[in-house]
Amino acid sequence: SYISIVKFVLLHAQADVLAARLEKRAAEGKHFMPAKLLQSQMDLLHIDESEGVLKVDATLEPQAIVNIIIQASIIKPQSQRSP
């Protein structure tokens, strides 16, 4: 018997940061959604604190984000997993 536990991580950033990223990716042809739709998406986002979602600052360097997730015990590095 296996038990599965799903944990969610929200990479959180302010709307202006996300808009700049969207505009950059759209200019490079790497994103389909226009930045003008971002605010409606932000308005619909609802995080219920009781669900235990880990919020991490999306403006951090990728390795810092990974380290925060590991420290929060959301995931364990491969070397610490049980066989």
- Look at residue 2 and tell me whether its pLDDT is greater than 90: no
- With beta carbons less than 8 A apart as the criterion, state whether 25 and 70 touch: no
Whether the model pTM is above 0.75 = no
pLDDT tens-digit profile of 39-80?
899 999 988 888 889 999 999 999 999 999 988 875 555 555
Place of tokens 């536990």: 5
pLDDT of residue 74: 54
Q: What are phi and psi of 56, to 5 degrees?
A: -125, 140
- Look at residue 14 and tell me whether its pLDDT is greater than 90: yes
Angle at CA of residue 45, ends 70 and 43, nearest 5°? 140
pLDDT tens-digit profile of 18-31?
989 988 888 888 87
